[in-house]
Amino acid sequence: MTADRPHRRLAWRRLLTALAVAAVPAMLTAPPATADTAPPGTDCTPDGVACVAVLVLDADNGRVPGAQATITDGADFSVEVTTSADAVTSVEVPTSGGYTVELDPASLPADAPLPEGAPTSIDVTAQTGSTARAAFRVGAGVQAPPATSAPPSGTTTPGTETGAGGEAGSGTTAGGEPGTDGGVVDAPPEGDASQRAFSLAQVWQQIGSGLRFGLLLALASIGLNLVFGTTGLSNFAHGEQVTLGAALAFISVHVWGLPLWLGILASLALCAATGFAQDAGIWRPLRRRGTPVMQLMIVTIGLSIALQFLIQMFIGGRSLRIVSSNPVPLRIAGITLSEASWVAMGIAVVCILGIAWWLTRTRIGRATRAVSDNPALAAATGIDPDKIVRIVWIMSTTFAALSGILVGISFGSFNWSLGMQLLLLMFAAVTLGGLGTAYGALVGSILIGLVVELSNLVIPSDLRYASALVILILVLLVRPQGLLGRRERIG
């Protein structure tokens, strides 16, 4: 496989063939359109129960409009849909389970008939929180590679779009951002376990996605770790700070009508203010009272509950997109991600380098590390720990917000539970890297990002976060202080 590297096209062919061999033609399809891009009525985001999508594609992977299909569950549920050229046609189905998609061959255009012997109906299994796709291939030339080894129209399994496969597909078709549907919310259908055979190119692609996820996660977990380092507090409300960032960016762009860059800045400013207000209003007075850290941790849980419901009140339970235009795929070094993702990764790298510079080269940054190491000693040398902690809180909430915004943009959409999902991964990351160590959060986050995305290749995508947490528990067994943590007296 590695020999193919110079010829990217060939590599993609091989990849596609490999996938086709695994009987997943749906990889050639575009990801489902989300709320803002498709005409109402036919679109669906799987945050209800599940969606079934119907794809009718010609030999060039173009969507064939006007084809009619019926989706039934064998009992009372029956919906008729008509495909359109500019979006994937999908409908929301009431329960998870098996559905049959029956294509009406008569509705197909004359120049794109169903090939001889191809079935007119496909059985799919709709799975909660994801979109099951039924893809029909029509028209002349469908026998042409890469689909040769697969039946012209095949069955799809739920959430069939492998990360790499989907991305490969979106490279050739006009499609949405690869692997973005559903955001990081509840099992986005990015990977598939039924798809056991995977190629190096796929692994490479997943490493790319893993790095993206890891970098964005790092941005949030560094703040979590800084707060832990300076105050000893595990902040359970940190996840909500991430959601808050994304939600405020959404509100400033879509409700207040600000341009994107201004909306992001407004969100960051507001979140920085929440950090300041939290420390001034809650944490500093409690530190003054000498409240034990364990007690403070439960206060953060209360804060997390309150913020979560507050955010829900404003943005509701839907999946939201901060940027409503379709993402443009961009391939760098054999990895296809949306342009927005690349930009987000760039911003994350710049910010992380900035934090590293700040921690090592500036007076306040060095003071922060001193406070982390030994608050009493730091205080004795003339550093005001309260001031440092205030700065750390502001940084923590600001970078959490930035992480939320970037995740929201580069993963396509987000909803109110974004931070809840990320919080556990952040905890896993900082524990993995070493609680309270400055660079532990970065290393841990990247590892977690890679584990999450790579595990897509071997386990069902709805369990991909579980894999990260299992790794966390295993690491604790072997090296409780984390990868970069110092060994402290335990047991």
* Using rule CB under 8 A, residue 161 touches other proteins: no
Structure tokens at 165: 């496969």
Minimum distance from residue 115 beta carbon to other proteins (Å): 31
Residue 305 interacting with other proteins (CB under 8 A): yes
Nearer to other proteins among residue 103 and residue 472 (C-beta)? 472
Nearer to other proteins, 58 or 190 (CB): 190
249-288 binders of other proteins (CB under 8 A): 282, 286
Q: Does 298 bind other proteins (CB under 8 A)?
A: yes
Q: Considering all CA atoms of the chain, what is the largest pairwise distance in Å, rounded to the nearest integer?
A: 84
For position 144 contacting other proteins by CB under 8 A, the verdict is no
**Does residue number 379 form part of the binding site for other proteins (CB under 8 A)?**
no
Rank residues 48 and 171 by Cβ distance to other proteins and give the closer one. 48
Residue 376 found at the interface with other proteins (CB under 8 A): no
Given a contact cutoff of 8 angstroms between Cβ atoms, the answer to whether 310 and 181 are in contact is no
> Which part of the chain contacts other proteins (CB under 8 A), choosing from 107-115, 177-185, 396-404, 464-472?
464-472
HEC secondary structure over the chain: CHHHCCCHHHHHHHHHHHHHHCCCHHHHCCCCCCCCCCCCCCCCCCCCCEEEEEEEECCCCCECCCCEEEEECCCCCEEEEECCCCCCEEEEECCCEEEEEEECHHHCCCCCCCCCCCCCEEEEEECCCCEEEEEEECCCCCCCCCHHHCCCCECCCECCCCHHHHHHHHHHCCCCCCCCCCCCCCCCCCCCCCCCCCCHHHHHHHHHHHHHHHHHHHHHHHHHHHHHHHHCCCCCCHHHHHHHHHHHHHHHHHCCCCCHHHHHHHHHHHHHHHHHHHHHHHHHHHHHCCCCHHHHHHHHHHHHHHHHHHHHHHHCCCCECCCCCCCCEEEECCEEEEHHHHHHHHHHHHHHHHHHHHHHHCHHHHHHHHHHHCHHHHHHCCCCHHHHHHHHHHHHHHHHHHHHHHHHHHCCCECCCHHHHHHHHHHHHHHHHCCCCCCHHHHHHHHHHHHHHHHCCCCCHHHHHHHHHHHHHHHHHHCCCCCCCCCCCCC
> According to the binding rule CB under 8 A, does residue 484 interact with other proteins?
no
List the one residue from 156, 209, 304, 336 that touches other proteins (CB under 8 A): 304
CB of 233 to other proteins, least distance (A): 9
How far apart are CB 26 and other proteins at their closest, in Å?
16
Only segment of 16-24, 133-141, 266-274, 482-490 that touches other proteins (CB under 8 A): 482-490
Q: Please, what is the minimum distance in Å from the beta carbon of residue 432 to other proteins?
A: 11
- Please identify which residue in 260, 299, 349, 483 interacts with other proteins, judged by CB under 8 A: 299
CB of 178 to other proteins, least distance (A): 22
Binding mask 170-209 for other proteins (x = CB under 8 A): -----------------x-----x----------------
Q: Is 163 in the site for other proteins (CB under 8 A)?
A: no
Can you tell me which of 312, 366, 369, 375 binds other proteins, judged by CB under 8 A? 312
Q: Which of 1, 269, 280, 473 binds other proteins (CB under 8 A)?
A: 473
435 binds other proteins (CB under 8 A): yes
- In whole angstroms, the minimum distance from the beta carbon of 159 to other proteins comes to 9
Q: Does 375 bind other proteins (CB under 8 A)?
A: no
Residues of the shown chain interacting with other proteins in the complex, contacts defined by CB under 8 A: 49, 95-96, 125, 127-129, 158, 187, 193, 234, 282, 286, 291-292, 294-295, 297-299, 301-310, 312-313, 316, 420, 424, 427-428, 431, 435, 460, 462-463, 465-466, 469-470, 472-473, 476-477, 480, 488-491
